[in-house]
């Protein structure tokens, strides 16, 4: 590490609140599926800013669209209409099949809006304020108080109790556990279509369809969190689209803006016409022209470059290569995931392997202490998978060799 990079890190540790244990690298620029640090070292990126930079770095069409909007207008507030927000709402409705959109600044804010939508929808039906939401164990929905309240990991919540009330937890893919929590006060069932932080667990088709039928029968809102698994990562624009069902409310963010901070929660017309109204919800920055220009261009490029199809194709190849790793190394227990959202489960913490990979020019991230998560840009090719596997194999072999 150069003195320059160490100086940057030292300054960061003096100024930034220490809520992250950061890797010891300062990134400076990106090109395609590669990152470069301030010393000029090149890294193959299989993190994509935590499933954000789906189009890769330095996409000229994307950059030019943002530059053009900066020269026009960046912000107006939601007291006025703006063309990019109108166009972005139209485009995201087209690719999702949903009917109403509220743009936020982040995924956590999208979850907050979804929670408020569910409670208002139920309140308008019966005037009660004791409605319950069922979320899933091992889930992750964000760090704000509402999103944290429905995050099924007590470790994240315990220092910030009390959370918002009337939240119950069931187990993903265990419909009986959901039914055990349902009462006449249940207003929503909320979960990730593919659990990310919780260990890369996809919801099963049977579970999805049973929850959908239950929600239809009892007028409960089905809320799907697509913040990490959505926007093409599983081979469909949204992961729930492969199941032949549709949620009442969904959240999205991360790759929605491919680097510009933007999220959204969307709902059907049935919910939109019987929930939030003027004065119920708002945000100063949400839906600003710059962020919505990013949304428009991202969706345009996803369609033009057939990004979800590439994720499906290369994702299948990634699965094959990761399964080879499982078969080869005793410390690797299994692979889980869909498309370009994959996880390798180890029999011990993976921090050392991730550090070794970084030293060799490969950027990886964990999902829990013993799982390596693979969420690369959705424009990667099979050759990039091969390069990643080569480095990963070296790192695992070294780690296993030192433990013998």
pLDDT tens for 206-232 read 999 999 999 999 999 999 999 999 999
pLDDT of amino acid 400? 83
pLDDT of amino acid 1? 83
30: left (phi over 0), alpha (psi -120 to 50) or beta: beta
pLDDT of amino acid 158? 93
Listed in sequence order, the residues at least 6 apart from 336 whose beta carbon sits closer than 8 Å to its beta carbon are 199, 200, 201, 202, 342, 343, 345
pLDDT tens for 1-21 read 898 989 989 899 999 999 888
Listed in sequence order, the residues at least 6 apart from 235 whose beta carbon sits closer than 8 Å to its beta carbon are 242, 308, 309, 311, 312, 315, 338, 339
Nearest alpha-carbon partner for 262 in 282, 281, 287: 287
Q: How far apart are CA 245 and CA 264, in angstroms?
A: 20
pLDDT of amino acid 401? 80
Number of residues that this document lists for the chain = 404
Q: What are phi and psi of 64, to 5 degrees?
A: -65, -35
Residue 403 has pLDDT above 80, yes or no: no
Nearest alpha-carbon partner for 374 in 333, 327, 332, 338: 338
Listed in sequence order, the residues at least 6 apart from 361 whose beta carbon sits closer than 8 Å to its beta carbon are 41, 42, 43, 44, 391
- Sign of torsion over alpha carbons 262, 302, 95, 300: positive
**Full set of structural domains in the chain with CATH:** 3-55+306-403 (3.90.1150.10), 61-304 (3.40.640.10)
- Average pLDDT (140-161) is 95
CA dist 29 → 32, 257, 324, 378 (Å): 10, 18, 32, 18
Classify 130 as helix, strand or coil: coil
- Residue ranges in 76-166 assigned as alpha helix (H): 83-96, 107-126, 145-149, 154-157
pLDDT tens for 236-255 read 999 999 999 999 999 999 99
pLDDT tens for 97-132 read 999 999 999 999 999 999 999 999 999 999 999 999
180 C-beta neighbours (distance < 10 Å), count? 12
Question: Alpha carbon 62 to chain centroid distance?
Answer: 20
Contact 213, 82 (CB under 8 A): no
pLDDT tens for 32-47 read 999 999 999 999 999 9
pLDDT tens for 284-293 read 999 999 999 9
- Sign of torsion over alpha carbons 133, 137, 140, 144: positive
- Average pLDDT (148-156) is 95
Residue 369 has pLDDT above 60, yes or no: yes
What is the chain's mean pLDDT, rounded?
96
Q: 402 pLDDT band (50/70/90 cuts)?
A: confident
pLDDT of amino acid 404? 57
pLDDT tens for 330-367 read 999 999 999 999 999 999 999 999 999 999 999 999 99
Q: How far apart are CA 169 and CA 138, in angstroms?
A: 9
Classify 344 as helix, strand or coil: strand
CA dist 396 → 254, 342, 351 (Å): 30, 17, 11
Classify 190 as helix, strand or coil: strand
Nearest alpha-carbon partner for 261 in 230, 300, 227, 238: 227
pLDDT of amino acid 368? 87
């Amino acid at each position: 590490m150069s003195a320059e990079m160490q100086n940057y890190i030292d300054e960061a540790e003096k100024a930034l609140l220490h809520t992250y244990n950061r890797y010891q690298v300062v990134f400076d620029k990106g090109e395609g599926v590669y990152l470069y640090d301030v010393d000029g070292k090149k890294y193959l990126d299989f993190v994509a800013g935590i499933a954000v930079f789906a189009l890769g770095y330095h996409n000229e069409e994307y950059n030019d669209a943002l530059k053009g909007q900066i020269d026009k207008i960046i912000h107006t507030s939601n007291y006025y209409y703006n063309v990019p927000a109108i166009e972005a709402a139209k485009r995201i409705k087209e690719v999702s099949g949903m009917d109403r959109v509220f743009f936020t600044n982040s995924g956590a804010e999208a979850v907050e809006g979804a929670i408020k939508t569910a409670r208002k929808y139920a309140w308008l039906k019966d005037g009660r304020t004791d409605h319950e939401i069922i979320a899933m164990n091992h889930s992750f929905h964000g760090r704000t108080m509402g999103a944290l309240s429905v995050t099924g990991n007590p470790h994240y919540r315990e220092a910030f109790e009390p959370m918002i009330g009337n939240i119950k937890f069931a187990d993903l893919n265990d419909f009986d556990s959901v039914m055990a929590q349902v009462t006449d006060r249940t207003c929503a069932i909320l979960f990730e279509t593919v659990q990310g932080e919780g260990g890369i667990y996809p919801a099963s088709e049977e579970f999805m369809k049973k929850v959908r039928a239950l929600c239809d029968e009892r007028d409960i809102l089905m809320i799907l969190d697509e913040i990490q698994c959505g926007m093409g990562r599983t081979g469909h624009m949204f992961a729930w689209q492969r199941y032949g069902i549709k949620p009442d409310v969904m959240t999205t963010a991360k790759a929605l803006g491919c680097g510009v901070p933007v999220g959204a929660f969307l709902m059907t017309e049935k919910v939109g016409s019987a929930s939030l109204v003027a004065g119920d919800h708002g945000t100063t920055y949400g839906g600003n022209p710059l962020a919505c220009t990013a949304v428009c261009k991202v969706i345009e490029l996803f369609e033009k470059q057939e990004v979800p199809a590439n994720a499906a194709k290369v994702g299948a190849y990634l699965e094959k290569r990761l399964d080879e790793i499982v078969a080869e190394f005793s410390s690797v227990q299994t692979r889980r995931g869909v498309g370009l959202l994959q996880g390798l489960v180890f029999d011990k913490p993976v921090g050392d392997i991730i550090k070794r990979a970084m030293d060799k020019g490969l950027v990886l991230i964990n999902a829990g202490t013993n799982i390596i998560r693979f969420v690369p840009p959705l424009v990667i090719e099979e050759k990039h998978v091969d390069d990643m596997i080569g480095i990963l194999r070296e790192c695992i072999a070294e780690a296993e060799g030192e433990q013998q």
